[in-house]
């Protein structure tokens, strides 16, 4: 179960604003987190608290395939992202590095900045404690749940390769 305060953004948040290319000469999560969202919201880094939940509109994470983007968001303390939809490479990357994300157009539209929200990743359900509203999402396919259970693709692959 994940619970936190909401930081909200709009549609088409691209990976260039999540982590600008000028910082891609490193992949240290802490250094990346220090510049997370900088070109879209320069206040993010100072106001984000560990456990906070990011909520956004359509096509979140579009653009470049840089895994630095979900890495920066995860390292900044964000515990989960809820969006109307995700760009597909970002979606893969988030699952592969073990950053919980959930697609729910209804929840992502309703939930506002500052709300207190709880997410059940396995069920795909979301509870807004500020308004009391509950949203039923689609549960993740079993295969993706296994990746998340293993805390990312690398552990998943590792487990399987040692078994073989």
Q: Which of 53, 73, 80, 97 binds another protein (CB under 8 A)?
A: 97
> Is residue 34 at the binding interface for another protein, with CB under 8 A as the rule?
no
Q: Which of 76, 85, 125, 128 binds another protein (CB under 8 A)?
A: 85
Q: How far apart are CA 112 and CA 89, in angstroms?
A: 26
Check if the beta carbon of residue 15 is closer than 8 Å to that of residue 43. no
Selection from 10, 99, 118 nearest residue 56 by Cα: 10
> Is residue 154 at the binding interface for another protein, with CB under 8 A as the rule?
yes
- Segment near another protein (CB under 8 A); pick from 8-16, 75-83, 104-112, 122-130: 8-16
Q: How far apart are CA 124 and CA 46, in angstroms?
A: 29
Q: Which two tokens stand for residue 56?
A: 């956004």
Element housing 19 (H / E)? none
Check if the beta carbon of residue 44 is closer than 8 Å to that of residue 76. yes
Selection from 55, 36, 54 nearest residue 45 by Cα: 36
> Is residue 10 at the binding interface for another protein, with CB under 8 A as the rule?
no
Check if the beta carbon of residue 103 is closer than 8 Å to that of residue 85. yes
Encoded one letter per residue, x for contact with another protein by CB under 8 A and - for no contact, window 100-139 reads ----------------------------------------
Q: Which of 96, 104, 125, 128 binds another protein (CB under 8 A)?
A: 96
> Is residue 19 at the binding interface for another protein, with CB under 8 A as the rule?
no
8-state DSSP, 62: B
> Is residue 16 at the binding interface for another protein, with CB under 8 A as the rule?
yes
List contacts with another protein (CB under 8 A). Answer: 12, 14, 16-17, 20-22, 24-27, 39-40, 58-59, 62-68, 70-71, 85, 87-89, 92-93, 96-97, 141, 143-144, 152-155, 157-158, 161-162
């Amino acid at each position: 179960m994940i619970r936190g305060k909401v930081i909200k953004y709009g549609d088409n948040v691209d990976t260039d604003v999540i982590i600008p290319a000028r910082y891609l000469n490193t992949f240290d999560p802490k250094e990346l987190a220090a510049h997370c969202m900088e070109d879209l919201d320069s206040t993010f880094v100072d106001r984000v608290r560990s456990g906070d939940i990011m909520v956004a509109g359509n096509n979140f994470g579009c653009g470049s395939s840089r895994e630095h983007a979900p890495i920066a968001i995860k390292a900044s303390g964000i515990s989960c992202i809820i969006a109307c939809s995700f760009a597909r490479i970002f979606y893969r990357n988030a699952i592969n590095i073990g950053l919980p994300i959930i697609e729910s157009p209804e929840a992502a539209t309703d939930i506002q900045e500052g709300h207190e929200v709880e997410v059940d990743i396995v069920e795909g359900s979301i509870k807004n404690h500020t308004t009391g509203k509950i949203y039923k999402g689609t549960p993740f396919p079993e295969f993706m749940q296994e990746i998340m259970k293993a805390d990312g693709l690398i552990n998943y692959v590792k487990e399987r390769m040692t078994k073989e």
